[in-house]
Structure formats: C-alpha cells, structure tokens
Amino acid sequence: MPRTATLVDFDVGKKQDIDSISNTARRTRKRLERLGGVIQECAVQWYKRYLLEIILRQKPLSPSKDGRHVPLRIGYEHVLIDERRGHPYISNVIRTSRYTLIDFLPKQLIFQFTRLANFYFLCVGIPQAIPGLSTTGSYTTILPLLFFVLLTIVKEGYDDYKRHRLDTLENANTATVLRRKPSGLETASSTRKWLAGKFNNAVADSEPWDDETDGEYGWKKVQWQDVKVGDIVKLVRDEAVSADLVLLHATGENGLAYIDTMDLDGETNLKSKEALPDFKGCHTIAGLRNCQAEFVLEDPNPDLYRFDGRVTVHGRTLPLTSNEVVYRGSTLRNTTCAIGIVINTGEECKIRMNANQHPDAKKPALEAIANKIVISLAFYVIILTVGCSMGYIIWRRSTEQISWYISMATVEFKQIIIGYAIMFNNVIPLALYVTLEITRIGQMLMLNNDVEMYDEATDTPARCNTNTILENLGQVSYIFSDKTGTLTENVMKFRKMSIAGTSWLHEADIQSEEAAVTTGASLGVSGGLAVPRKSREVASVIHEDIELYPLSSPTSVFAPQSERRSSSQWRSTGRPDHLQPDVTTSDLLEYIRLRPTSPFARRAKDYILSMALCHTCLPEVKDGKVDFQASSPDELALVRAAHELGYLVAHRSSQAVTLRIDSGDGNQETHVYEILDVIEFSSKRKRMSIIVRYPDGRICIICKGADSMILPRLKLAHLAMQKATEVRKSVEIERELLRRSEQLEVRNSFGGRPSLNLRGGGPGNRNSIGLSPSGAPDKRPAVVRSRSVEPSRSRASEDKPRPSLGIRTTSLDVTKTLSRLSPATPRPPQDKFGFLDDPSVYDESTIFGRCFKHLDDFATEGLRTLLFAKKFIPENEYNVWKKTYNEATTSLVNRQDMIEAAGELIEQSLDLVGATAIEDKLQAGVPETIDKLRRANIKIWMLTGDKRETAINIAHSARICRPGSDIFILDSTKGSLEVQINDVSEDIKMDCTHSVVVIDGQTLAVVEQSPQLTDLFYTLIPLIDSVICCRASPAQKSMIVKAIRQRVPSALTLAIGDGANDLAMISASHVGVGISGKEGLQAARVADYAIAQFRFLQRLLLVHGRWNYVRTAKFILTTFWKEMFFYIPTAMYQRYNGYSGTSLYENWSLTVFNTLFTSLCVICLGIWEQDLSAETLLAVPELYVHGQRNRELNIPRFVRWMAAAAAEGVLVWLGVWAAYSVFGQARDDALFAFGNLVFTVGVMWINWKIFIIETHHKTAIIMGAMGITIAGWWAWNGFLSGVYTPQFTPYPARDAFAHTFGPDPLWWLTLIIVVLVLISMELVYKVVKRNLIVAGMWRWPPWKRRSLDDSLEKWGLEVWQELEQDPVIRERLRRACMEDGELDDEEHDSIDPDDVAKAL
C-alpha cells in the first residue's frame, strides 16, 4: 500500500477516534449534569421533608376544601379559624426585614462562613490555637477573624434593624374599624370633650372613637397590625387600604368607589369598584348589624387580575369578582367614604404575596473572582508548605544527622508542615476583609455626599443602604425600570391637537414651567441640578427632512418654519429634532374670536366642545379654584385643556353637564347638555362614547378612542383607511432611509454609536466629541422586514432621521429646505392665518391624510393619541336604539357583551372631529440618561403594569425606542408564539440596527407555562436591545429579573422603581435602586441605593460605579500583591535556617505589618482613587464596559501581578543577601538587623508603588497618608529599640536601631539602592507601556498600529489619561457632559483631529 494512502487512512482513523472521544465526553458531561440535577433535587426534597417539615414543623399548606369562610356578623365574637392551619388567621403584621431575633445569628454565621476566605481562615485559625504548633502566635488568626465576623454581623444587624423600624412604622398606621364599645364610654367621652376645651383640643386629638355610634358598637381607630380577618373597615378619601377588603358600601356616584392602584400594579387609571346591590343598607352601623352574610373566598394567591368567590346574603348566593375587591396597597380616591370587610391580612395580602419576601443577602460580583484567587493562593500555600517541609526532610538527612549539636532536636513532620501552613497563611491576608469593609464605608460616604446627586426640589440626597455591593454598580448589564413614578412624573399634559388637517401646539403651562426652570438654572452646575435638560440633539445639526405632504405656502403649519418661536417652546423629549407647529392654541382662540363664523372656526369649536363633553370627570372647588375628579389622568388633561380653551365644566351629574363658555371678549355663556347615555371605555372596546342632547334639542353621540377603533366607524371609512395606508407606506420609506443611514454609522464593539473617534468631521451630534465622515460603502443588504409580529399596524419608530455622518436625506419641499438653511433670507409678509383659507383644509381626503400623518408624528414623539368623532342622531333612530340598549343593561346573562354589541349599532357613520396628543411628562433628564446608558452597553427593559399603547408611547419619548428601531410585538392572542419568536429571531439576524420586543403579562404567563417556549424566549433575549413588558404583575417583574440572572449568569442586573409594586423586582436583582422622591418611600427603604430622580442613575453607574469597581479591584490586587511580595523573602530564608520555620521578621513588627504600615496605602486607594475624571466618564459612556468585561480584576491580570510580586521579592532577597554576604561586612549581622532591612525595603516599596505609581488621583490626603506611614515606620523602629528588654533572642532589638545597625552606612546604602532599583524598573516598564499604548503599538505583533476605527472602549486607559491632560480635550469633555441648558448652541463645537493627535 502506498505510504500516502496509509497516512490518509491514519488521519481519517485518528479523526474518527477524536470525534468518538468528543462524543463520549459530551455524553459523559450530559450524564453528569443529569446526575447533578437529580442529586440537587433529592437534596431539596430531603431538606423540605426532614428539616422543614419534621424538625421545624413548617409543612406546606394544603388548599382548603371549600375556600375560606368569613362571616359578616357584627355580634360574632368567636375567633375565625383558618382551616388550612387549624389556627386563627395570620395577623396583619408585615415584615420586609430579612431576619428575626431567633434566626438572625444562625443565618448570619452560615452566611459569613460560606464565604470562602472566612472558611479558610477558620480552618487555619483552629489548629493555630493548639499550643506548640504555631511559630507566629496562637491567636493571631482566630481572634481577628472572630472580631471581623462579629463586626460584619453587627453591621448587617443594624441595616436590618433599620428595615424593622420602617416595618414598625407601617404596621403602626391607623385604620378605622367597627368595634364593640366598652361600658362607661359615654361618661369618659364627655369628660374628654370637657378637657379638650380646656387644653386646646389636645385630648380630643387622641380620641380613638368616632362620633358615629350605635349604642353598643362604634368606629374605633386601631393600628394596622391589629386589623383581623372579618373586621369591618371604614375608609375615607385619600386613605390607604390596610388589608384586602370586599367592598360593602361606597359614597361615590352610583355607589362607585374609585381606587388608585399605582403602588399595586403600576397603572395610573383609577379603578371603579362597586358593592353588590344586596349590601345597600350597609352604610350605617345599624345596617351592618342587620345584614347577615357569609363570604366563601379563594385561598390567598398572588394573582392581581382575577378573584373568585361567592357570598350568601339573606339566603341568596351571589358571585364575587375583582370588581368588588379592594387590595392592600391601594388608595381610595375621589370618594368620600367606603366600607369593606377584611378577607386577607398581612403576608397573605395580594401585594405581599407578589413581593419577594425576606430575600437573601446580596454578594458582590467581584467576590466570585476573589474566591478563585483565594483558591489558587490556597494551592500556592499548600505547595509552598509541602516544599519547605520536604526541604526540612532533605536537610535533616544531609545536615542534621551529621551535626552533633542538633542531632537530638528532630521535629516531627506533622509539626513542621502545620507550622509552615500557619506561617504562610497570611499570603491570603485576613486584613483584606477588614480593610475592605473600611474602604466600602468610605466609598459609601463619598457616594452619599455627592452634591451632583442631590435633588434640591425634594431636599433628597443619594443614599446607600447596602455598602457591600458598591462595586456592582460598575458592572451592570441589564436595567429593569418601572414606568410610572420612575421614568414619568405621572402628570399628563394636553400638548397638541389636529383639527381639519392642521396641527396646533398647546403650551399654556410652558410659561410657568419656564419661570421655574429659570430660577433653578441660576443655582449653577453644582446646585441641585433640578433643571430639566434640553436635549443635546437639538443644536447645530442642520439636516433636510422628508416632507410627505408639501404645501404651496412655506409658512404653513404642515411645513414648520425654520425660525423658532422662542426658547420656551415645547420640544419632544423623544424626538427633540422635530420642529413643532408655529401656531399654538392661543393663536387658535384669536382666530375663533376674529372669525367666529368661518368653517374652520366652527370645526375648532366642535373639537373643544367634544373634549368638554366626552368624559366622566366631576368638577370640584378647591381653595377657590375649579379642579376635577377623574378616573383617568388622560381625561383630566383633556378637561383641563378644554377649560384653558374657554370651555369650563362647571357642573356634572349623571343627568347633565353644565358648561361655562368664554367667548373671548369677556362674556360668558352657560349651556346645559343633557346626558342621555354613557357607553363606558373597556380594554376590548378601546373607546368611550357619550350621547347628549344639545340645548337646541338635537341629539349627538361623541366618541373618543384609539385610531384603530375609530377609523372603521367613520362615515368615509373606506377613504380614511386608504389614506391611513398611504401614510403608513410613506412612513415605511422614511424608516428605510433612516435605517440605511444608521447602517453607515461607525459602531463600537457592542453595536452602539460611539461618542468619539479619531476621524475628523463637521458639526454633529452634541453628545459626540468628534464624528466620522460619510462615504463608507454600505456593505449590508437593505432588507425590508416586518417590524411587528402582530398582523395589525403598530407604531414603530418611524420618525425623521437625525443623520450624524453627513448623510443628507432628500427633501421634497425645496422652499422649506432653503429657508431652513438660510434663516436670514427675507420673506414677503403673509397673513398669520392665511393657510386656513387654503381650500384643501375643507377637503376630507386631504384632512384624513394630514390627520393620520399628525397621529404618527405625535406617537413617535411619545405622545398618547386619541381620535374624536361625532354625529347627530335623529330622535326616532335614537329611540329605537335606546330600547336595545336598555335590554342590554338590564340583562342578567352576558350583560357586558350585549352592551358592547348595542354600542356597535350606534357608533357608526361618524364624522372625524380631530386628534389629540397628551404628554405623559417624563422626569427631567430621562431621555439623555437612557441614551447614555445604552451607549454604555447596558440593555434597558421597561416593566410596567400599564397597557401596551401607553408603554410604547413612553418608550418613544424616553428613547428606549430609537428612531429606526424595529418593534416586535409578541401576543399570545395573535397565533402561535413559537412561530412569532422564530420570526423575531430571523428578523433580528437580518442586520437589525436596534430591536425592541413588546410582550404583555398574559403572553408572558403563556411562555412560563411551556418549557419549550421559555427556552426559546430566553434564547432570544441576548439578541434584543430593549424589552417592553406591559400589564406585568409584581410577581412577573420579579420572575423576569430572576430568569435573566439564571439565563445570563455573567450579566449583572439592576432594578429601579418607586412603589410597593416594585419591591419584588428590586429585591430579586443584583442591585436595587429606589426612587426616593415624592412617592418612593416604599422602594427606597428596601432598595440597596436610593436616589431622588432617574437622571441621577447615570452618575451613580457611570461615575461612582466605575470608580468603586476600579477602587475595589485595585484594592484586592494590591493587597494580594503586597502579601505575596512580603513573604517571598521569608520563604527563601528557610534554606539558611535549616527549614526550621524561623521567621525572617520580628514578631511584633509582623503582627502590625498590615495594620500600621501597609493599611493606609490600600485604604486610600480604595476610597479616593479616580482613574478618570467624572467629566470623561459622563462624556464617553462607552468606558463603562471596563467593569462589565472585568478588565481591572481577572485571573490573567492577577497572575501577572503575582508573578511581578514574586520577582520583586526574589530581587529584594538577593540584593540584601548580596550586600550582607558578598559586597560588604555589616556592623550588625544578627537576624533582627537583616530581617529589619528586608522589612524596611518592603514597607518603602509597597507604599511607594501603591501611593505614587498605582494611584492616579493624587490629593493632599494621599500624600499625607504616605508621609504618616513612612514616618510611622521609623518611629516604630525607635519604639522597638527602647522597649525591648536585653535578653538572648534571635531578634536582639534593644538599642539596635539607635546604636548597632542604625548608624551602619552599609544598611542604609543597601536600603536606598534596592528601593531605587525597584522604582526604576517599575517606572521604565510603565513609561514604555504607556508610550506604546498611546502610539497604538501595545499589541501583538508590536509593529501593528492602532486603527482609526477602533472603538472607544478598546482604547487603553493610558490614552484617556493622556487625553485628559490636554486642556483642549479636557474642555471639550467638560462641555460634552454639562447640562445643555448651561451652554449655547454655538458653544458645542467638535474636536479637531489634530488636537487629538497633538495630545497623544
């Protein structure tokens, strides 16, 4: 056989063998994984069965047979028993603290000694305490360990005690409960009233009983913790609900109670709850006593959106649903009084069952790397111990046996090996954890005292509640944010309207806000920073817009003029580059006053009238001003806007609405509109209608709702749908152009837009420091792909592009473009309202097209849109419909479906009135913060209980959805979820620049129930840039955070929220942040960190997160480095003492080495180090990936540092040994002088390296600490020289420093030379490395220079430190991170590339 064929067969066989080996290894690994899973499952089962159930008697509760029975009987005195437990129902006490007095110490001991280093020191400290085994003292390890552990336990206990105090405050809130009155109460009550008159009502304020009594029973104020199942509770307006209740009575219109559930599920709309009609007599104590009922309810569960139960009243059984139940965590609004019976208390309330109860203590992410380092050093200690012990055996055979003077002094091997283990155990320093706690306290104080995160408006500074995870702030990869109260202020403002195809801006509130902003801006940069930011993307970027509907007049509102009206004009937070309409509602009122009978004026008045009539708001007078009670903040914004436009709702009842109309000339007219019917809004209908009779007798239906619901019901529905389709296609073209321009942009290593690169360019994005020019060929295919899995249209981010690379889009309106490019060009004077005389204003086809374009523009600006439509109904047609509607409302079967079907009959052939746009006001600086966090490679998820449309609108305004984002909607009601998820994956892989997935709580529940869908969904997660989860319960929020922690174990998660519904999510994440502003006390007390505004999150992460990560990582590295360096000479000295374990260093000095002489250097580094300035870190958020990728502390870096420490330790030993043994004769050649010289070199070099070389941010504190340490060492030598008693010892320290080795020139010369050699070597290495990095040659092969296209995060730290030294670059960085309101537009210049080259 030929040799070649033999070799081929051999290679094939070898490959097959390798494949079979790899397959075998794969199968073996899978078997081991399955075995591990089985073992873990068995362990969990045994733990539950034997420890929890048998020993601790904590058996899982079995479901009750027929639900829990709660009687409504006032005279029922027996304690209600929970049949699941056989004991009374649990109390209403809640607990967010982690420990109790019983389990605190056991849990903490287990937690502390599961930390690897503590367990290691415990294993070393126990044998060290045995007499005769240690050469370094018996208790030098165990006592400091116990002290440190005790200190940590005390700190944890204090933190938990603070949570316990806050729990006590909540449990001590008061509720009004029906109780039996004690005998003699009337006499005592009259006495109190007499005393109240004498002592200024002080006694009356403490009266626990209300005036309403019924002889035997009365309303008594009790603490929440005393509320029990079966109690009757009375609520008053704006009172928080103390426990889960079934509503018995409410004083609202038609017996309704309006409930605010924002803290429960995050929804801002008020929920209307209604008591069953059979409880109509329960508004008095007598009525409650006469009512005999028994409730049969479901067992406690966390489902917020479903409730099952029944009640038997006077022998009649009725169903109970969530419509009659009010949960703890809610607040009674717009209702004077409500009465309910308690059904769930304490930890069995819905809100508590959705909370992550008693979460485990959080550990820093760096601890995992530190544990690996400890394990590796433990192996090193074992090797060193075994090596020295074997050295003793060899030395005993070669030297000890032939030396008569020590031949009988043989030491047992076990004593030798244990002695060496104890000697070298300090290579893993116990001081690491003691000083680490000190540095974390210092870091916490630095964070708490940062004035840049102080909110002056609420007088709230940033606060750190958990200082053990400060470095986690610098490694966050996912942010999970609540919406209401976190991103938004929960304040709705009517902002825009579209009437007859014309767009008008409503800015009645702008002037007052501008005055407040001006006042705040005068405080300067270092003040409270409560000034809302104008977007950085507004200035100096001149680009051409695509005009889809060009008009002949350049001054038309459809093509906004280039001149800005004023600096106070409203700008969209989501699209600040959008030019706003140049006409406002003030101009609209002026036009109506001037031409009240014109066709457009009539349309405008119809529009305002529709806003004033189609709602359910109730007017009320507060402090002489009219305000409104509303079930929805959107309705409130519309009614307030109608008031500002001259249509005041003066009175409203269930029968009529009274309007006070201001004609503009000082005259007011009062009109009364009779309410005939109201067809309520529902999530299925997505619209609301009201039928009213005008003062002239005409009947009109006014309908408002989502555009998808109104369009098919218009009179010209076919034409409207056609125009909507045309607008949609034009928007798709615009989005495709934007996508292509974004594909040409320079990207960093994680796909984001860079803030700075080395290429030159003209003015661009204000957030950028320098921009790349265009011209790079587009190598990516232009693929038109679906933006939504949902078949129907969803609003994607189809807004106008903001080219930052010099890419100019084509404009179809040349006049407009030229006018924008040349704003100074003179124009002929034109009538301000001339555009309203255009005949197209009255053409229905044109109106539809322009109105739908306005809708899309409004939506992409993050505004919440509604359409208004109306029609007049003939009397006979209304009477026929009324019969059908009455049958539906009185039906006992399918009532809601019949009402909706009746509504469909009348809501047809409507005339379009116009469109509204409502702004859900964001907190100041939210869009800029999210933009920076995204550029920092942080993925942002918004988890909210609000509906999908609202969540998407807020995502646009907050810039979670970018222009050009592909929005994918997963909906379980639209088909197979598996197909939808696969389609999303395919679309994302087809070069999607920015992807956003929208999923609701119901769909998420379907995903959770299927393991296959769960795996598929969480496989998709790493590919997605942002996720919007709407209609999510608190438990689902927590589940999502936990799932990401499990599926992406390398990523750190951060959850931020402000309400009680966010507690579970905050507790489940690696880092929890609470907004401690107006309504954020619940989240702030549980969270690890509390800030007043979302915008402070960028400084918390980008600045303090980076600093604390670098500080802690450097602290750990330098601590291990100094121990390794310090103990290498001791190990080398063993050869010269017969491997007897004699220490090179004197014991007292060795004991205080870490405490007195090398603690300040690492502590100061860990507290005050700043590798880059705050301005640089804020201006270039990409630098945040330094912590995400663990660049400061990782195993390769640790190995390099340990290798350097070993080399330096060997060099010190050889230098000192050579000086004493080869090159000179020392005056004092005793062990103490020799060891003291090595010790002194170590102290000098350790402090010089850490204080001078490794610390970048050198302050007076740093230099003062170094001076104190060095002076302290020489003072210590003088102290030893005086306090040691003269005796025969290996360490004759008495008068040694003063009279023996102190005056010896050789000792000092050796010290100076060795230290200078070490400093020179380090400085040469640092200088060469820095120059090579700056030159772009610090990589292999060394002649390969850095590419200009390198991402910012790939630039070395030395490059940025070098750039910071240049005044031009430093000033530009300062400008880039400043508040935009502090700089004029022309000040935002970009850097010339020559400046960068000069700096480097």
Active site residues: 482
Phi-psi region of 751 (alpha: psi -120 to 50; beta: other; left: phi over 0): left
Indicate the Cα dihedral angle 1388, 1394, 1398, 1399, nearest 10°: 30
Q: Calculate the CA 646 to chain-centre distance.
A: 42
Cα distance between residue 1027 and residue 480, in whole Å: 9
Contacts of 613 (CB under 8 A, 6+ apart): 657, 659, 673, 690, 692, 702
As to burial, measured by CB atoms within 10 angstroms (0-12 exposed, 13-18 middle, 19+ buried), residue 1102 is: buried
Closest-CA residue to 273 (of 230, 345, 334): 334
Token pair for 983:
């389609």
Closest-CA residue to 629 (of 131, 83, 258): 258
Count CB atoms within 10 A of the CB of residue 381: 21
Question: Is 1088 within 8 Å of 1072 (Cβ atoms)?
Answer: yes
**What are residue 81's DSSP bridge partners?**
88
Cα distance between residue 515 and residue 510, in whole Å: 9
Indicate the helix (H) or strand (E) that contains 521. helix 510-521
Question: Is 1338 within 8 Å of 1356 (Cβ atoms)?
Answer: yes
Cα distance between residue 222 and residue 176, in whole Å: 6
Cα distance between residue 156 and residue 150, in whole Å: 10
Question: Is 503 within 8 Å of 496 (Cβ atoms)?
Answer: yes
DSSP string, 816-865: HHHHHH-TTS------TTGGGG-GGGG-HHHHHHHHHHHHHHHHHTT-EE
For the chain, helix (H) and strand (E) counts, in that order, are 43, 36
Kindly report the CA angle at 924 between 922 and 925, in degrees rounded to 5? 105
Q: What are phi and psi of 1004, to 5 degrees?
A: -65, -35
Indicate the helix (H) or strand (E) that contains 344. strand 337-344
Query: Whole-angstrom distance between the N-terminal and C-terminal Cα of the chain?
Result: 66
**What are residue 866's DSSP bridge partners?**
916
**What are residue 318's DSSP bridge partners?**
311
Cα distance between residue 1029 and residue 1002, in whole Å: 10
Q: Which amino acid, residue 768?
A: S
Q: Which 3 state secondary structure label does DSSP give 429?
A: coil
With tokens 């360490």, the residue in question is: 1291
Q: Which 3 state secondary structure label does DSSP give 694?
A: coil
Phi-psi region of 1138 (alpha: psi -120 to 50; beta: other; left: phi over 0): left
Buried-exposed string 199-215: b where 16+ CB fall within 10 A, e elsewhere? eeeebeeebebeeebbe
DSSP string, 947-979: -HHHHHHHHHHTTSSPTTPEEEEE-GGGS-HHH
Cα 1140 to Cα 186, 413, 878, 1210, 1235: the distances in Å are: 91, 11, 109, 20, 16
Token pair for 206:
């403490």
Count CB atoms within 10 A of the CB of residue 660: 17
